[in-house]
Amino acid sequence: MPSITLELFQMTLIMRLVRSEMLEVIRADYIKFARACGLPDRIVHFRHALKNMLVPVITITGLQLASIIAFAIITETVFQWPGMGLLFLQAVQNVDIPIMAAYLMLITFVFVFINLIVDILYFVVDPRLRVERTVEA
């Protein structure tokens, strides 16, 4: 139940985004040209359309993953699961500053790490971000 609670809203948001981005990309001229060249729909969808709609999806997925981690406190509290969220809430109730600071630093580190992964995925997915080196003689 807790995992379903955390993931259901996030999954529906990402599914709607993927659908709307794919519908937008499918209307582009280069997709029409690829179909006119006789490429099968499978190749057009996966090789051409999917690559160009992944950047906004990666962005939103990274942000949603970070929000899942942040809102796990509420889910742990509702389902009474012992975890870091419950530890943080007990630290707030007992005014235990070191535990609160350590938890917030850990969550901050996770956010920064997720953003780093998202930026690396941008580089992998979008060829426009790659810089070509020029060799001077």
At 135, which amino acid appears?
V
In whole angstroms, give the CA distance from residue 103 to residue 78. 19
Tokens encoding 16: 């709607």
Does the structure show a pLDDT above 90 at 98? yes
Farthest CA pair distance, the chain:
68
Tokens encoding 41: 């729909």
* Locus of tokens 């962005």: 59
Mean pLDDT along residues 17-46? 87
Task: Using CB atoms within 10 Å of the CB of residue 100, give its burial: 0 to 12 exposed, 13 to 18 middle, 19+ buried.
Answer: middle
In whole angstroms, give the CA distance from residue 71 to residue 74. 6
Tokens encoding 122: 């941008």
Task: Please tell me the predicted confidence (pLDDT) of residue 134.
Answer: 64
Band (137; pLDDT cuts 50, 70, 90): low
Band (133; pLDDT cuts 50, 70, 90): low
Does the structure show a pLDDT above 70 at 10? yes
- HSE, CB side, 13 Å, CA atoms: give it for residue 16: 6
Q: Which residue has the higher pLDDT, 27 or 128?
A: 27
pLDDT in tens, 36-63: 888 888 888 888 888 888 888 888 888 8
* Locus of tokens 């950047």: 55
* Locus of tokens 């001077």: 136
Asked whether the CA dihedral 9, 59, 34, 24 is positive or negative, the reply is positive
Task: Please tell me the predicted confidence (pLDDT) of residue 116.
Answer: 92
The highest-confidence range among 2-6, 73-77, 86-90, 93-97, by mean pLDDT, is 93-97
